[in-house]
Amino acid sequence: MAGKRRRRRGIYLLPNLFTTGCLLCGFYAITASMQGEFEKAVVALFFAMVMDGLDGRVARLTQTESAFGAEYDSLSDMVAFGMAPALMVYLWSLSELKNLGWFVSFFYAAATALRLARFNTQIGIQDRRYFQGLPSPASAAVVASFVWLGEEGLLPGWIGQPLIALLALSIALLMVSNFRYYSFKEIDIGRRIPFFWATLLALLAALLLTHPPSMLFLLFFGYALSGPVLTLWFLHKRRRGRRLAR
């Protein structure tokens, strides 16, 4: 109609470039795993995490958030943090367990899809400070860093296989759980921080550089454990409040 303004079509370029970068890294991780180059696959997944963290922040800073961007982000996350780590652990070790290894890898991929679908349905109604269930990028980081440890020869062959199966299954269950995880979305990167925190960040960066595989595994595995601890603390606090109210 002539009296109505025509709706503009198109997508925002900048945030979707980072999303495409995440998708590219996930695709590269899959191809590298198929060629047996697991260290390259692990590094690609961590680059995918960086890209995934930037696209949302860039969209918010530039006020270019959109429904298309949210859906595109979820699809790229499914490839990078669902299919890529599932295929990685299967080709790295779980294929030797035959049907059990196939089941664990599939369950991990399915849990990632369920986690992302639940997240999409809760946009706008969930507390931004917390995630419900372990986020898929952190889940992929735990699995990928464990594979990296194995590639570095830090895990005996007889223990690496059952451990990665148990780890992948546990991480998948944490993704679809109701445990609360701190989202870090309330942190303002443009705000000044105390000198102590700047020193602590420098120390953490130095520790990561000493041995990235082990430090990254400890960091993200600790985050995976923080969900049950945080949830239990909230439940204890709530029960204590009810007792005092009586």
Full domain range(s) for residue 67: 13-245
Query: Does residue 42 lie within any of the structural domains?
Result: yes
Q: What angle do CA 20, 28, 34 make, to 5 degrees?
A: 150
Would 112 be classed as within a structural domain?
yes
Report yes or no on 3 lying in a domain.
Answer: no
97-143 per-position pLDDT tens digit: 889 999 999 999 999 999 999 988 887 677 778 888 999 999 999 99
Q: Report d(CA 57, CA 65) in Å as an integer.
A: 10
Least confident of 62-71, 112-121, 144-153: 62-71
Which residue is associated with the tokens 């470039």? 17
Between CA 104 and CA 217 the distance in angstroms is 20
Total domain count for the chain?
1
**2 domain residue, yes or no:** no
Does residue 33 belong to any structural domain of this protein? yes
Residue 215 maps to a domain: yes
Q: What is the pLDDT of residues 29-47, one digit of tens each?
A: 999 999 999 999 999 999 9
Residue 7 in domain = no
From CA 157, how far away is CA 161, in angstroms rounded? 7
CATH number at residue 237: 1.20.120.1760
**HSE (CB half, 13 Å, CA atoms) of 9?**
1
pTM of the predicted protein model: 0.86
Distance CA 28, CA 185 (A): 28
With respect to residue 189, please indicate whether it lies within any of the assigned structural domains. Answer: yes
Question: Is residue 92 a contact partner of residue 38, using CB atoms and an 8 Å limit?
Answer: yes
Q: What is the pLDDT of residues 174-195, one digit of tens each?
A: 999 999 998 877 666 666 667 6
